[in-house]
Structure 1
Amino acid sequence: MTTTDVEAALREVLAVTEERYVANNPRSERRFRQAATVMPGGNTRTSLYYSPFPVTFVAGEGQFLTDLDGHRYVDLLGEYSAGLYGHSDPAVLTAVRKVLDEGLSYGGPNQYEVELAQEITHRFPSVELVRFTNSGTEANLFAIGAARAVTGRSKVLAFESGYHGGVLSFRGEAPLNAPYPYVVCEYNDVPGTLAAIREHRDDLAAVILEPMLGGGGAVPATAEFVRAIREATTRYDVVFILDEVMTSRLAPGGLQERLDVVPDLTTFGKYIGAGFGFGAFGGSRRLMERFDPSVPGSLSHPGTFNNNTVTMAAGLVGLRDVFTPEAARELNARGDRLRDRLNSLFIEYDVAVRATGVGSIMGLHFQRSPIVSGRHIAPAPDKRTLLHLELMLRGFYIARRGYLALPLPVTDTDVASFVDAVADVVATHRRLLR
């Protein structure tokens, strides 16, 4: 088949799959149409939209989700890595119920925040002092703000396909980005990045890096790349911010532990809140002590819900009692096994598909060629749509872009069933994926 023939056949197959999906989800479709009358696109979080419409969920338990039409899915998206504990973890629920009885908003310090801070500084040795926020976006904004304030410089070096929050996105055009003067380099490009740091060193406040691109395709940074940035930022007194909002779950001490690198600041979010809004930034005492309000001229860090009792209590129990170092190792080993099985399957069927990532986070891409940066990812929107809808029709929930983040309750049996489902899709549409 020529490329034109494949594209035409793919569109025909996709149209049939979409018809099956629509017929299978009439209640979700009605709810989507209703939502569109009061929210633009029927949506209040862009990443949750996919065509022809997203299903509406009504319940979650363990590793399962149930939608408005009564379909049950194995949740392999895990709330884009924030839902690490699955749905309604018993230990987290117990902690939350206790807080509900104690009271929610005190307008002052509470009994949980110090213990959560201690747990974070224990798990991540580069973090000597930590401050809480309400999201990873806020954490990154405060980390960058701190770097600019402390260094007296203005520029921020970031990387193509990087994502540090809704107003710090480097995946294509981003008109809503915070108006910092950016220097943008290619991910995993050591010579280009070092040259940019040297060129802008006199006005470069910070380098911000995801040690694995999350929303940008689950592309890991090489150890050489990360260490080269650490050495250069140290040499030129530039603040090195490691965005571990997603990746801190990939080892007991995050990817910084696996890469053996010590950043100046680390940002956190997502899963540490155990399902509730959470963010944090922390690092060296030299930088973080600038937020000490007892010292004249300190940096201000407001935020009404920074230490809200529900997040503090749930986050503490989750990090201390549920996502133990051993649990982290086991979950990420399961993810590595899944990735290996998928890649073996794609080779067996001789299709242009590959799985990338580290541990429990991965991305599925429609190509045979290696992926080192976002520039190397083939778009393939129709193939992504086809795989996504076919997997949903088989009872598995992942992101439209091919992103997966395994929750803790997912079992080896769930993983095996997912591999079987992917094999079924690949076998059915093999001629379109070669």
Structure 2
Amino acid sequence: MLTEIAAGDAVALCRSSQLFARGQKVFPAGVTRATIDREPHPIYVARGEGAYLVDVDEARLLDLNNNFTTLLHGHGFKPVVEAVCELLAAGTCFSNPTRYEIALAELLTSRIPAIERIRFVNTGTEAVMFAIKAARAFTGRSAIARFAGAYHGAYDWAEAGQNGFDIRLDGSRNARLGYRGAPSEIANDVLVLDFNDADGLDDTIAAHASRIAAILIDPMPSRAGLLEPQPVFIERIMDVANRHGILIIADEVLNLRQSYAGASARYRLKPDFVVAGKIIGGGFPIGAIGGNAEVMSVFGGDPSSPVVSQGGTFSANPVSMVAGLKAMEAATPAVFDRLERQGDWLRAELSAVARKHGAAFSVTGAASLLRIHPRATPPTTYAEAAPTPPDIAAMRSLSRHFREKGILLPHDAAACLSTPMGDDELEHVVATFEQFLVD
């Protein structure tokens, strides 16, 4: 009998491994997203329950990933589930518009100061791509400036510089392209800057100002380390852009969750375009480009020949619109305030634990976002945040420890909170971190 039970457990415990073996036969690298952790194999999910997910082996994990910050209200949020279930029988997509897209647009334009007009697409990558196209069309210029290390999706011009830059023989910077075989000319139209380098903005931008359509900025770049923007840096960006007729694109696909009005409002950045996604879809695919009426006019004009043609078979599909509307209606100022308090407490406690044990770890982030770094001092630049091989090994070890203790922590330790989380969940995170440092 014991032998039979042990054999059954062995089969149950390796279901994720079995699924990965099947995936390797049909997907490159066995998965369909490069961001999936495959050490030793992906965790395949069976279902989500509020702040938790349950994998195919019935392990219950506190979810600090929330599909890369998308799920502000966690899994199975009842208002979204009920609204989507009611909608499904009426139709999931049409070539014609529906009232649902207007309702979500009205909500977003009413709370995000920089958005007067908006267009919906399907992903954050699409939204960034169309924002860049719109800036080019409005200014008549082709180049963009962006900050090293920030992630802006997979559009070639947004991807260049994501991994920093190389120095040319003349001392200028050459944006590193996103993949082998990418057109080398792209680097000529992407100026790579350093986040929080206020003093370096003036001269660098001025030398190329006549070609630059827009400065693309994530107000608190997640991939680059959740770096807190310095007020003087934000002020200098706006001053330089205004003096040279350059537009500002704020990529808030991830960081819109920083406040009721988004990240730009939080840091007093006044962008011409705001790119949104993730939380505004309520768990369904979405992206959006918003801005003032003047710059957004490039999407309008003669319907047969707009300055920038933006379509998309599933853009503004009613499922994403309804789900997003319900999720955002529930994201009230009180909800954001509560998440802010929880985030402040968690970041402070994690930092205190690291200091208590003399461990070389620090924590960055804001509102419901946090990131643990394997360094004693919180980074303020991408160069400081960029992990070394030992750093990567340390963070993977941390992620494995968290998983063993029932917490899903992304391997780069960039985490987020969701509204179903309470004191017990936050205390569990702190205790697990301390145990890692002690062990």
Q: Same fold (TM over 0.5)?
A: yes
Aligned partner of 2:125 in structure 1 is: 137
Q: Could you tell me how far apart the structure 2 residues matched to 1:324 and 1:208 are?
A: 28
Give 1:397-416 correspondences, 5 Å limit.
397-416=408-427
Residue type matched to 2:50 in 1?
A: G
Aligned partner of 1:119 in structure 2 is: 107
**Percent of aligned positions that are identical:** 30
Aligned partner of 1:97 in structure 2 is: 85
Residue type matched to 1:55 in 2?
A: I
Residue type matched to 1:32 in 2?
A: F
Residue type matched to 2:128 in 1?
A: N
Give 1:309-388 correspondences, 5 Å limit.
309-320=318-329, 322-377=330-385, 378-379=387-388, 380-388=391-399
Give 1:178-327 correspondences, 5 Å limit.
179=186, 181-294=189-302, 297-320=306-329, 322-327=330-335
Q: Give 1:25 shift.
A: 4.5
Residue type matched to 1:153 in 2?
A: R
Q: Is the 8 A contact 1:206 1:238 kept in 2?
A: yes
Residue type matched to 2:394 in 1?
A: K
* 1:156 lines up with 2:144 in the alignment: yes
Counterpart selection for 1:35 from 3, 23, 28 = 23
Aligned partner of 1:171 in structure 2 is: 162
Q: Could you tell me how far apart the structure 2 residues matched to 1:250 and 1:115 are?
A: 22
Aligned partner of 1:106 in structure 2 is: 94
Q: Is the 8 A contact 2:63 2:408 kept in 1?
A: yes
Aligned partner of 1:426 in structure 2 is: 437
SS at match of 1:358: coil
- Unaligned runs of 5+ residues in structure 2 are 1-9, 164-175
Q: Is the 8 A contact 1:25 1:55 kept in 2?
A: no
Aligned partner of 1:14 in structure 2 is: none
Q: Could you tell me how far apart the structure 2 residues matched to 1:352 and 1:166 are?
A: 33
- Unaligned runs of 5+ residues in structure 1 are 1-21, 429-434
Q: Give 1:225 shift.
A: 1.0
TM-score (norm 1): 0.90
Aligned partner of 1:392 in structure 2 is: 403
Cα offsets for 1:17-68 (capped at 9, x unmatched): xxxxx99952211211221111011111001133221211111010111111
Cα offsets for 1:265-284 (capped at 9, x unmatched): 00001111010001001111
Residue type matched to 1:41 in 2?
A: A
TM-score (norm 2): 0.89
Q: Could you tell me how far apart the structure 1 residues matched to 2:162 and 2:112 are?
A: 28
Q: Give 1:417 shift.
A: 1.1
Q: Could you tell me how far apart the structure 1 residues matched to 2:31 and 2:92 are?
A: 28
Q: Is the 8 A contact 2:363 2:378 kept in 1?
A: no
**Deviates most, 293-302 or 114-123:** 293-302
Cα offsets for 1:100-156 (capped at 9, x unmatched): 021111210101011100100011011010000101110100000011111111111
Q: Could you tell me how far apart the structure 2 residues matched to 1:171 and 1:197 are?
A: 18
Q: Could you tell me how far apart the structure 2 residues matched to 1:146 and 1:365 are?
A: 36
Q: Could you tell me how far apart the structure 2 residues matched to 1:102 and 1:215 are?
A: 39
Q: Is the 8 A contact 1:293 1:299 kept in 2?
A: no
